[in-house]
Amino acid sequence: MKKIIWMISSIVVLFLLIGIMSFTWIYQSAMSQKEQGHEAAIERAKEKAKLVQVEQVETFVGKEKQFIVKGVNNQKETTYVWVPASKNEKVIAKTAKEGITSDQAVQAVKKENTVTTLKDVKLAREGDVLLWEVTYLNENNQYSFSYVDFTTGQVEKNLTP
């Protein structure tokens, strides 16, 4: 009887270890894909926008994949650099003071839509239009996205998938 319990326990532990190792491998694989291209984007951003310090890099996937690099330029100004994954597309850099803040983007969305729970605010880009993407839950508890023009503060588009 003790032998059977020991064998069953060993099999359960073995399956748990295999499950944990599989989950870890899948997670690491997914995260490396998300960050793939960050180093090249940082180099392009430093070159084009004269960044002396990089604070953050995020990946945005809309119609085309973009990397948004936040840093400080040689005049000590906070600068955002939109770096397309495609080397054929142009890199666009703007200082933070050339556009609206993330808080101002949220306020613009709240004027037009019912925002029950704010989920995320991040920079985005469609073509040459620089945007803030505001993600939130609406009054029906549905995930919604609003895109606010970085320069003008106008809400460009609202989506509820």
- Residue-wise pLDDT for 116-151, tens only, equals 999 999 999 998 899 999 999 999 999 999 999 999
Q: Residue 11 — very low, low, confident or very high, per pLDDT cuts 50/70/90?
A: confident
Mean pLDDT of 86-101: 93
The sheet with strand 155-159 has its strands ordered as: 117-126, 129-137, 143-149, 155-159
Q: Would you state the pLDDT for residue 123?
A: 97
Structure confidence at residue 34 (pLDDT): 56
Q: What is the pTM of this model?
A: 0.76
The amino acid at residue 16 is: L
pLDDT of residue 121: 97
Of 142, 143, 146, the C-alpha closest to 121 is 146
Cα(145)–Cα(115) distance, integer angstroms: 10
Q: How far apart are CA 8 and CA 160, in angstroms?
A: 49
Looking at residue 21, its pLDDT comes to 82
Section 89-108 average pLDDT: 96
Quote the pLDDT of residue 67: 95
Report the sign of the C-alpha dihedral through residues 4, 10, 16, 21, in that order.
Answer: negative
pLDDT attached to residue 30: 60
Residue 33 pLDDT exceeds 60: no
